[in-house]
A and B are shown apart, each in its own frame.
Chain A
Amino acid sequence: MLLTITTTARPATDLGFLLHKHPERVQEFGQSFGTATVFYPEAGEERCTAALMLEVDPIALVRSRGKNSPDFSLSQYVNDRPYAASSLLAVALADVFRTARAGRCKARPELPGTPLPLELRLPALPCRGGPELARRVFEPLGWEVDARPVPLDEGFPEWGESRYVGLTLRGTARLSDALNHLYVLLPVLDDGKHYWVAPDEVDKLIRAGGGWLGRHPERGLITRRYLGRRWALARTALSRLAELGDETEEELEPAVEEDAPAEVTASDEAAAAEAEAVAEAADAETADAGAADAGAADAGAADTEIADTEAANADAADGTDTADGTDTADGTDAAAGAGAAVEGPAPKARPLSTLRREAVVGRLEELGAVSVIDLGCGQGELVGALLARPRFARVAGMDVSPMALTIAARKLRLDRMPDAKRARLTLFQGSLTYTDKRLSGYDAAVLMEVVEHVDPPRLAALEQVVFGRAKPRHVLVTTPNIEHNVRYEFLTGLRHPDHRFEWTRAEFAGWATRVAAQYGYQVAFEPVGDDDPEVGPPTQMGVFTRDQRS
């Protein structure tokens, strides 16, 4: 909520001309979310400091705008927005210093083009990625960065550091550039539950980042974070239940993002595409209106756009989709944690998810399955691949998450699917711990990376539901091979926070053999992915086939 800009250029009070704010006045600017005040704590010839203070009243905000607020976290009363230099400060800055940011100054036209010695200070900057990330994004822009973490609570030193840093930037730059840097990078570092709904955000990014963003080594991360979260679905029922249970919303994050950190996802891909558009626009001296428009369309209808890409790929006869050849430079996103490197060292390697899907589809073809149900279908990747093959006359996808199914329907372009294809597909919500007649009557059921999301005490219910009741002729189960985890350099713990366990090959074989015997199936095992001679493949697959008699 506080930003100070200090210059030691002489006369330092020129800062007032540049900012279009008189150093001897206190000026207030109403914002939709509070009040911005500009004042000068000091205004001397040698040193002049302008302060932008933003007062945010979360109670008034919640009351007046509630769930439709542009900033997700504003729906909470206990909120860091009144204190932190968040995206709201960026919005206020853009408004209050609009002219300065554009580099215009009628009174002293020569001033905006002149680099000045500047010191920018933000006492509480939310910075996901810590001081290190602050340095990574500001240093390439010529700033000397002093970023110090703020402790979470002095009374509980064991809690460690907060996600805020006290940031001071020193350097010589044009004021307009400095303001644009902050305008773009504050929301990027914040990366909280912040999202933008306006379709013109890409335009804004291109304008503010023109001239520097295209060459920034972190441009991928900046673009992606700036454009915010893709799943801009307002507060969901899940988040309400999280609050009740004393949990954070992330702890109940839908499993649809299961593979997101591990593999290149559609949203990463879209973001990368957008970043390229930005880079092109910036490189070409004149802003390419066409590219900008395209970008804007992307942001406005982002999900549709992703859906198109996905569906087009799913339609492709060979079924390999999304990630082939996509630049995975986003892997440098430190905040994505261990995930980025999880699926193997070779950057151009085909993602494991693709290999897995191909293995499953291939197996289903060999088994001669005509009707297939994907239990835990997530965003519908496998369902799409199966639909692309006419031999699968009936395809069903079941998932427990309504959000996953919504996304799957969008990605599969359900509303525009031709009747003949649509007639082959069923998507519905269900649960693997509840018996369900709708699961019966398929040649094969697929549990692809599903069992490890089930608490071990509930596996018996899953077995009963799938093998005891639904009883398809074939059941394909894939699950991570934990032995292979040592091959992932940065991985600590399991491959996904929602995994309740991961099995060794022996543990998986033990479980599968026991289940097969109990329910009258035979089971065979196959590796998926690079079958490491020492630790085995990254994914293991069990192919169950029902005994003729049972």
Chain B
Amino acid sequence: MISVPELSLVVLVGVSGSGKSTFARRHFKPTQVISSDFCRGLVSDDENDQAATPAAFDLLHHIVGVRLARGLFTVVDATNVQYAARKSLIDLARRHDVLADAIVLDVPEEVAIERNAARPDRDFGPGVVIRQRKDLRRSLGKISNDGFRRVHVLRGPAEIDEAVITYEKAWSDKTELTGPFDIIGDVHGCRSELETLLRELGWRADGQGWRHPEGRTAVFVGDLVDRGPDTPGVLRLVMDMVEAGAAICVSGNHEQKLVRALNGRKVKVAHGLRESLDQLAAEPPEFVARAKAFMDGLLSHYRLDGGRLVVAHAGLKEEYHGRASGRVRAFALYGDTTGETDEYGLPVRYPWADEYRGRAMVVYGHTPTVRPEWVNNTICLDTGVVFGGHLTALRYPERQIVQVPAEKVWYEPAKPLSAAAGRDPGTLDINDVIGTRHVETRFGTRVKVMEQNAAAALEVMSRFSVDPRWLVYLPPTMAPPETSRLDGYLEHPHEAFEEFAAAGVREVVCEEKHMGSRAVAVVCRTPEVAAARFGVDGGSTGAVYTRTGRPFFADTAPLVERLREACEPLWAELGSDWVVLDCELLPWSAKAGELIRSQYASVGAAARAALPEAVAALEAAAGRGLGVGDLLDRARRRSGNAALFRDAYARYCWPTDGLEGVRLAPFQILACEGRATALEPHAWHLATLALLDSPLITATRHVFVTLDSPESRAEATAWWESMTAAGGEGMVVKPAAYTPGRVQPGVKVRGREYLRIIYGPDYTESLDVLRRRFLGKKRSLALREYTLGLEALSRLAEGEAGWRVHEPVFAVLALESEPVDPRL
């Protein structure tokens, strides 16, 4: 019976012919076993080419390293009879904070020689085996000092044949415990506050100790001892709970040091150790022995709830979760120290949490702060109760903070508690966005972002976008419906209705498409909300930005201010102090003025200057009897089209002076506190937004259509026709309620005249050519971007870290840089 850790490096040791490969085949998956012969073959085409040995081992180490980094159990099949070979593998395991076990296959020399002789691919003589065996014999005496966790020696073929491998879970693996948990910060001997907190959390003490009526489990993040008034009391309470199975506890650096002191080791008595030693001196020796054993046996971290929760005294970076090594323990106990000390003589800590990108929530203590704050899904619960602050608990999975104040200042802090420590600085890391990425969403799909698209998005994001803390959403692109076959039309509601009916949608909403610029508005009720919820200091209460994340005006503050006033009715209605709105900003010329002038108006100007002269020249030629009739007809028609084109764009332009004349047409409430409201039915959005009553706000006209009713469809079609005949851009048709799957979230049906702006003045002359348009890519992009947008809003609503919200938003921008026909 050989027991090895679930995540470990197993090193087989044995001479050539000792049966390592056979053993490995029998006990492990083929992918788990990396053999030196195999690697030699890869780098030389000859498994026996000894000249290739250095290269083969380079490769072997590389493969093993990659596997261990990825957390995969790995077996090395090589002779490993020399210390140096084993040492390099142990070092490799240590570099990846993985334990290493050795399994020695010790067979008689003649057995090995005989086996080798029987193998046609082994052309070396018995001398090699004899030499290896000499090395092995020399090794066996001291192999236990190599640095393996355990060395399993199997003697003789019989023992080797009978061996059974079993796997041990890592000590830190308590993933089977799913809570719910009450995770409690550094107590430091404050027994009374601890009892108050437990009661606050709903725990009750009876004859059998502390219990929670709902069966919750307490988790202590360590530093139970030192500085405070009753270290023995705290120890007794926690030990009882742990022994009763009501609590688990990780070690803090103070327990570590106290154990050393109690063991009579020379330690500097400082930082409150004196108090513990004095208090324990008054306790019976049995208690001290029990406490010492308890503290000595504490592990440095636990993985809980299927790996979704990690508890360590000073936190733990993702690479160390579930790993075991000296430096993992040191990190968990002391944090990521830089080795330097600050002006108070305290160690300078590296802000590992700022860089944390793991999926597991990490809960820890160790660094006293005024307020517990979330940083990238990590939180520090040490609020300095012993220094007169609070004792803090986190309810998991509720993410709820429960605190009780200190009864008094029990111990003077060496330096004032820092308010800023741990505050999410909102910094994003380049690795959050660049390279080829897959963004996981909760809507059933993973969205791939190509490297070159991410590169384009990085430039636009860095140079032009609003502060990423405000950039919590970018709208998806929207496809038109299948091209209409009706004479004179490129787009018509009929195809939109057909599409949704075919997808099983019963009801759709048709919303007027305001011809302006798409705008996303983030609005907070107060600057304090902006600071607390979005981490934006400096008095800003929101932002309004374009569909590529650019600000609308040089200074959007006045617009935000007016929108904030307009949003007043929403706060109570939504039960939130902030809201994200999807809008259209009018007029088009407010943002697109330069585009309109340089492209649309220019084309119109050129047409109006050139066509009349062309018509005149052709008329003169026709007057002379030349056959230019067709040409003349065309020139006259194009002259008319040019006039219609000019009217089409001019309709969406009106002068604005500052904010005068600017209007916002919100049509969807994207998110508010705790809710990704984008998933609500459109009837809710339109009804809620109807509460807004302000000259800034323009309502969105709409009709609901029951798709199996021809009358209902006809009514909406007539509405669309009248709207577009009057110069309207058209309408957007959306499923009335969120519809998961491959159903477009909306399609736009644009009016005949409006499309001149898109396809050019004379597009009506070329409808047959234009009907050959390909919607597939646009529609696929629309779905992917929609999913990413919903994901971003969900992450935002649930209070996830800034980089988590940024990731899908950035991905939308990256996808938008895909080449796709911009006229669709």
Contacts and interface: CB of A to CB of B under 8 A. Distances in A.
A270 B54 CA distance: 53
Interface in A70-99: 76-80, 82-85
A457 B426 CA distance: 13
Nearest to B456: A237
Contacts of A39: 617-618, 621, 626, 628
B62 to A, nearest CB: 21
B723 interface: no
- The interface centre, meaning the residue of B354, B456, B463, B591 with most chain A CB atoms within 10 A of its CB, is B463
A430 B766 contact: no
Nearest to B619: A41
Nearest to A73: B599
A63 B628 CA distance: 27
Chain B binding surface SS class? helix
Given A40-B626, A78-B758, A80-B606, A53 B614 contact: yes
A431 interface: yes
A151 B432 CA distance: 49
A527 to B, nearest CB: 28
Given A83-B611, A244-B547, A464-B425, A401 B822 contact: no
A433 B462 contact: yes
Contacts of A457: 467, 538
B462 A153 contact: no
A153 B605 contact: yes
B776 interface: no
A2 B627 contact: no
B591 A246 contact: yes
Contacts of B477: 244
Interface in A34-83: 37, 39-43, 49, 51, 53, 55, 57-60, 63, 76-80, 82-83
Contacts of B428: 433-435, 461
Interface in B589-612: 591-592, 594-595, 597-612
B90 interface: no
A248 B598 contact: yes
B770 interface: yes
B617 A152 contact: no
A59 B758 CA distance: 11
Contacts of A76: 599
B758 A77 contact: yes
Classify chain A: how many residues form its interface, as a range.
35 or more
Interface in A229-247: 235-238, 240-241, 243-247
Given A26-B627, A78-B757, A432-B462, A153 B617 contact: no
B601 A248 contact: no
A237 B453 contact: yes
Given A80-B606, A164-B605, A429 B650 contact: no
Given A59-B770, A77-B759, A78-B757, A429 B458 contact: yes
Interface residues of B, number: 91
A130 to B, nearest CB: 14
B548 A83 contact: no
B548 A241 contact: yes
A402 B605 contact: no
- The interface centre, meaning the residue of A82, A164, A549 with most chain B CB atoms within 10 A of its CB, is A82
B109 to A, nearest CB: 50
Interface in A430-489: 430-436, 438, 453, 457-458, 461, 464-465, 469
B602 A41 contact: no
B195 interface: no
Interface stretch (A154-162, A204-212, A259-267): A154-162
B768 to A, nearest CB: 10
16 contacts: A39-B621, A41-B618, A59-B766, A123-B612, A124-B606, A126-B606, A162-B606, A246-B591, A248-B594, A429-B455, A432-B462, A433-B462, A433-B468, A436-B430, A464-B427, A469-B427
Given A85-B610, A235-B819, A436-B431, 7 more contacts: A1-B610, A40-B626, A78-B599, A78-B600, A80-B603, A246-B595, A252-B464
Interface of B: 340, 354-355, 425-434, 452-453, 455-456, 458-464, 467-468, 477, 517, 538, 546-548, 550, 588, 591-592, 594-595, 597-614, 616-618, 620-621, 624, 626-628, 631, 634, 638, 642, 646, 650, 653, 655, 757-763, 766, 769-770, 772, 813, 816-819, 822-823
